[in-house]
Amino acid sequence: MSNKYLLGVFHDEHDMIHAAKALKKSKIVIHDIYTPFPVHGLDQYLDIKPTRLPVVTLVAGTTGLVLALLFQYWVSVIDWPINVGGKPFNSFAAFIPVAFEITVLFGAFITVFAFLMRSKLAPVFSSGIMHSGATQDKFVIALAVKDASFDTQNTSKTLADLGASEVSIREVK
């Protein structure tokens, strides 16, 4: 399956923001915007909901904490209790440092994997790259060309009128 996108390439981020605003006003759905650095305030034009990554971190971190505490308790009290210097088998306070480290480890790694999966980032992907300038100095608005009803000619003109220095079609597999 291949998807077609109409790209409007801007040199200036303010022109791009202005164009995104205008497109939104004329009810043209923007597929995505590609920028060399995070440009704030675009979410309203793309209808982006707040990310749920913090929830992932909370769940992952809590899981790590509980698993680490249970494991240390199981090892030290149930599976193979060893008397170390007369300390109680359940030396709960001594289990906290390792439990904390595992909390952080789980929280960080699972959040990173969730991010990579959700954003479709992996060593095998390169098909999502729209424009090679978008990682350096270009600001690219991509509109999805879904079917014949999409008026490519007129929309291209609108993009050019809004200040796009280059308007092109890109097919993505």
Binding site for other proteins (CB under 8 A): 14, 18, 32-39, 42-43, 46, 48, 51, 53-54, 57, 61, 71-72, 75-76, 79-80, 82, 84, 87, 91, 94-95, 97-98, 100-102, 104-105, 107-109, 111-112, 115-116, 118-130, 132-137, 140
Between the two ends of the chain, the Cα-to-Cα distance in Å is 6
CA–CA dist 131, 144 (Å, integer): 15
The residue whose two tokens read 């050019």 is: 160
Residue closer to other proteins by CB (options 117, 151) is: 117
Residue closer to other proteins by CB (options 62, 119) is: 119
Give the relative orientation of helices 92-118 and 53-73 as an angle to the nearest 10 degrees. 150
Yes or no: say if 140 and 133 are a contact pair by the CB < 8 Å rule: yes
Min dist CB 84 to other proteins, Å, is: 6
Min dist CB 57 to other proteins, Å, is: 5
